[in-house]
Amino acid sequence: MAGAAVTLIRPMVAGDIAAALEIERETYPQPWTEGVFSDELGRDDRIYLAAEEGGRLVGYAGLMVIGDEAHVTTLTVAPWARGARIGTRLMLALARRAREAGARALTLEVRVSNVAAQALYRRFGMAPVGVRKRYYRDEDALIMWAHDIDGDDYARRLAEIEESL
């Protein structure tokens, strides 16, 4: 029977790397390599999540937790799967994992031209606080932060996002 695809969010594992490399190559001018993924997945202070539909990797997201700050290292949805709230689901799970890890703030860099991602991040309470010049080889990065993510207001924000899915 036809129906909406069920999206499973689970920890990313080494077995996801091959599919992730394909998505990287189709997405970024400087894609992460197998070495970068293996290194990231092996670090204790990182949290990586995968989104899977029908056994197929459709996206992934990562977090580096340092003290009470959680830095989003990547949020990527396969080109063919975009616009179906998978990015929002991954970010929701990431924000919750950040809270569980004791983080009080979320931060990330995003290309100044990437208005789609910026819109998603704003929904998660992230606001632009500055620009990192030439952060990417060819473009500046907007630095975004969300504070007090450990509080009840933020928990309510996440619950509202979940209800809207």
Ligand X SMILES: CC(C)(COP(=O)(O)OP(=O)(O)OC[C@H]1O[C@@H](n2cnc3c(N)ncnc32)[C@H](O)[C@@H]1OP(=O)(O)O)[C@@H](O)C(=O)NCCC(=O)NCCS
Which residues lie near ligand X (CB under 6 A)? 27, 75-77, 82-88, 110, 114-117, 119-120
Among residues 86 and 158, whose Cβ is nearest to ligand X? 86
136 is a catalytic site residue: no
CB of residue 3 to ligand X, shortest distance in Å: 18
> Are the C-beta atoms of 71 and 108 separated by less than 8 Å?
yes
The first and second tokens of residue 92, run together, are 């929701």
109 is a catalytic site residue: yes
Among residues 65 and 91, whose Cβ is nearest to ligand X? 91
- CA dihedral sign of residues 122, 17, 51, 99: negative
CB of residue 63 to ligand X, shortest distance in Å: 13
Report the residue number whose CB is nearest to ligand X.
Answer: 87
CB of residue 66 to ligand X, shortest distance in Å: 18
Q: Residues 109, 135, 139, 160: which is the catalytic one? A: 109
Among residues 6 and 119, whose Cβ is nearest to ligand X? 119
Q: Residues 24, 52, 60, 121: which is the catalytic one? A: 121
Residues classed as catalytic: 109, 121
